[in-house]
Chains A and B, each alone.
Chain A
Amino acid sequence: MIIIYHCYGGSHSSVTAAAIHLGLLGKNRIPEADELMAIPYFDKTVNGDFGHIRFMGVDEYNNRIYVLGKKALGDRCNNILVGINELLNSSEKVIPVNTMTSVNWLMKLGGFGSRRLGIVWPGRNLVSYGTRKAYFDLVNLVEITRLKAIQVEEMAI
């Protein structure tokens, strides 16, 4: 199964959710800023990365985890990804997850400053702080996604 976490830039909330899913970040405590910065792609994307579905890893159920920056496409992105999968008649299941539901204004402001305006130091600090504040929301979203993946897998059997 393929799980794609997507957010505006594919740089913060989606990457953090994917890292939680893959066990790169623990579920029971809020990570420090330097732990967030150590995640692949966290606050490191550039303009050309928009629209690229980037591989993050494989979870214990052999699900492949990806991240995507989809700008302001919203939930429509879910239907597009599922629709393309159906159009191709693929036997693989695709679960797209919009992580924007867990994003707070600190993350938006910090992400905009760091990635769009290039004001890296204050933007990065702000987005790290915001991500830490939203952390358990992201953990919750990941847990829901993992359960959904198990359900989808069971239904397919």
Chain B
Amino acid sequence: MKVLFIAPTAVHQALIAGNIFLGRIPDDNLNHINDFGDMRADATGMPLFIGIDKNGTEVYTLGVGSEMDMLKKAIEDLRYILDYTEEDLVVYPIEIKGEPFLSLWAKLLAQLGWDYESPSIVTKALKQRLPELRTTIENFKNQLYN
């Protein structure tokens, strides 16, 4: 099975969610996450492979801009057209409080050339959302495996 976390960018909340799913952020230090805030990794629009969990589930993230519900629909339609099901690919949108501001800020700074790491204001804001994200991902994992 494959899990795809979608969010406005592939390298912020979706990447954190993917790493929580894989049990990889024990110290809450977001800067230790591979590719975190690196907008160059998000630039192509291709899914980003994060890792595989102990059940063999492959975890990916994808940046889809502000239209997450619309893109979820499109990805699920394509999955159906290609003759795959939810058993093969689960699409999970990551929505957090203050998202439009965070995405806008990250994208604006990326446009100005600050695209290689997450600006500290964005990192700080996302760190505050960590407990909320952990709960969301734990619930999702329970749903997925039970």
Q: Which residues of A come within 8 Å of B, CB atoms?
A: 2, 50-53, 64, 66, 68, 70-73, 76-88, 90, 92, 94
Distance in angstroms between the alpha carbons of A86 and B19 in the assembled complex: 22
15 A–B contact pairs at CB < 8 A?
A50-B73, A51-B69, A70-B70, A73-B67, A73-B71, A77-B45, A78-B45, A80-B62, A84-B75, A84-B79, A86-B47, A88-B79, A88-B84, A94-B78, A94-B82
B134 CB within 8 Å of chain A: no
Whether the Cβ atoms of A90 and B82 lie closer than 8 Å is: yes
Whether the Cβ atoms of A90 and B84 lie closer than 8 Å is: yes
Q: How many A-B residue pairs have CB under 8 A?
A: 81
Q: Which label, helix, strand, loop or mixed, suits the secondary structure of the B interface?
A: mixed
B107 CB within 8 Å of chain A: no
A48 closest partner in B (C-beta): B73
B112 CB within 8 Å of chain A: no
Q: Among A2, A80, A94, point to the contact of B71 (Cβ < 8 A).
A: A80
Whether the Cβ atoms of B65 and A76 lie closer than 8 Å is: yes
Given A51-B74, A85-B82, A88-B2, 7 further pairs, Cβ under 8 A: A52-B74, A81-B78, A83-B45, A83-B47, A87-B2, A87-B89, A90-B82
- A79 cross-chain contacts in B, Cβ below 8 A: 44-46
Distance in angstroms between the alpha carbons of A68 and B74 in the assembled complex: 8
Q: Which residues of B come within 8 Å of A, CB atoms?
A: 2, 4, 44-47, 60, 62, 64-65, 67, 69-75, 77-79, 81-84, 88-89
Distance in angstroms between the alpha carbons of A83 and B78 in the assembled complex: 11
Whether the Cβ atoms of B69 and A84 lie closer than 8 Å is: no
Distance in angstroms between the alpha carbons of A22 and B137 in the assembled complex: 44
Whether the Cβ atoms of B75 and A71 lie closer than 8 Å is: no
- A94 cross-chain contacts in B, Cβ below 8 A: 78, 82
Distance in angstroms between the alpha carbons of A51 and B60 in the assembled complex: 21
Expressed in whole angstroms, the minimum distance between the Cβ of B102 and any Cβ of chain A is: 19
A85 closest partner in B (C-beta): B82
Distance in angstroms between the alpha carbons of A71 and B65 in the assembled complex: 11
Distance in angstroms between the alpha carbons of A50 and B71 in the assembled complex: 9
- A53 cross-chain contacts in B, Cβ below 8 A: 74, 77-78, 81
B74 closest partner in A (C-beta): A51
Expressed in whole angstroms, the minimum distance between the Cβ of A73 and any Cβ of chain B is: 6
B48 closest partner in A (C-beta): A83
Q: Among the interface residues A70, A79, A80, A88, which one has the most CB atoms of the partner chain B within 10 A?
A: A80
Q: Among the interface residues A51, A81, A94, which one has the most CB atoms of the partner chain B within 10 A?
A: A51
